[in-house]
Amino acid sequence: MEGKIVTERLNAFFGEVHAVKNVNMAIPANAITAIIGPSGCGKSTLIRCVNRMHEVVRGAKATGKVYLDGEDIYDPETDPVEVRRKVGMVFQKPNPFPTMTIYDNAVAGLRLNGEKDWSKLDGAAEDSLRLAALWDEVKDNLGASGVSISGGQQQRLCIARALAVQPEVLLLDEPCSALDPIATAKIEDLLFDLKDRYTIAIVTHNMQQAARIADFTAFMYLGELIEFGETKRLFENPEEELTEKYITGRFG
């Protein structure tokens, strides 16, 4: 399998609970891949395995392989912090650091990595806020609190924060579920613009969102990857009966 990220026989557990079962999947570079499926199907756990966030939960473990550009990120030699720098993540609820300004939020990751040069920080703040399509809205107000802006702006600030450390992959876990349709459309437009530079994987409950923005879609059910393919094909003529039932709303 070829892909920016490739999982091989990936299993994830929370204690005794087997949340992700033997998933083999290749996430292509410079494209948006959506992961859909009902609540509890393991889609968030799957992407959290891709940047080694899964293991930070007490009792959680993962087995199998996850390759980033052909290198196994679970290799004992691999530094999880370096993996997380390359693979950024944005969560469901916008979570800017509440005590920090917009500026400080944008460059928080860089500072954590020890960057102290103001001109570099200034450049990174502007670049990442521009990439996140937020610059024009906040450029005169960079000293305001990160939580003083709207929910949609906060979410784009979180995307800027993730982009500031120059990742290669951007993982988004339900990034629009707390946003209104206009803020959602802005995030979707942004992801569309970003996909030329990054590999993007988005977990979403919203099938129309997957259909609108994703080049590839993965459907998961009860921890298993049921079907993976081009979004257009999957939504027009799915191969698996289960996928058909889920996307047409015939799950009872």
Partner 1 sequence: MSPRKAYMTELAELDELVSLMANKTSEAIELAVRSFERLDMQFVDKVERLDKELYDLNIDIEKRCLEIIALQSPVAKDLRAIGTYLKVITDFDRIGRYAKDIAEVTAHSVERSHFKPLVSIPHMANMAEEMVDLSVKAFLERDIAPTKQVFELEDKVDSLYDEIFREVITYMMEDSKKIGAGMNYTLVARYLERIGDHACNISERVIYMVTGERVVKE
Q: Which amino acid is at 138?
A: V
The CB-of-211 to partner 1 minimum distance in angstroms stands at: 7
**Is 248 one of the binding residues for partner 1 (CB under 8 A)?**
yes
- What are the residue ranges of helices labelled H in 16-74? 43-50
H/E run at residue 221: strand 216-221
**Is 143 one of the binding residues for partner 1 (CB under 8 A)?**
no
The CB-of-33 to partner 1 minimum distance in angstroms stands at: 18
- By beta-carbon proximity to partner 1, the closer residue of 90 and 234 is 234
Q: Say whether 179 sits in a helix, a strand or coil.
A: coil
**Is 184 one of the binding residues for partner 1 (CB under 8 A)?**
no
* Tokens found for residue 66: 């996850």
**Is 249 one of the binding residues for partner 1 (CB under 8 A)?**
yes
Q: How far apart are CA 55 and CA 128, in angstroms?
A: 28
Question: Would you give the binding string for partner 1 spanning residues 203-242, x where CB under 8 A is met?
Answer: ----xx--x-----------------------xxxx----
Give strand pairing partners of 46: none
- By beta-carbon proximity to partner 1, the closer residue of 198 and 246 is 246
Could you say which residues in the range 20-59 bind partner 1, by CB under 8 A?
38
Q: How far apart are CA 57 and CA 59, in angstroms?
A: 6
Q: How far apart are CA 167 and CA 180, in angstroms?
A: 27
- By beta-carbon proximity to partner 1, the closer residue of 116 and 250 is 250
Which residue from 45, 105, 153, 243 is in contact with partner 1, where contact means CB under 8 A?
243
Give strand pairing partners of 169: 87, 199
Beta carbons of 117 and 156 less than 8 angstroms apart: no
Beta carbons of 111 and 125 less than 8 angstroms apart: no
The CB-of-208 to partner 1 minimum distance in angstroms stands at: 5
How many residues sit in the footprint of partner 1 (CB under 8 A)? 16
The CB-of-79 to partner 1 minimum distance in angstroms stands at: 40
Q: How far apart are CA 98 and CA 223, in angstroms?
A: 34
The CB-of-207 to partner 1 minimum distance in angstroms stands at: 7
Instruction: Report the interface residues with partner 1, using CB under 8 A.
Output: 38, 207-208, 211, 235-238, 243-244, 247-252
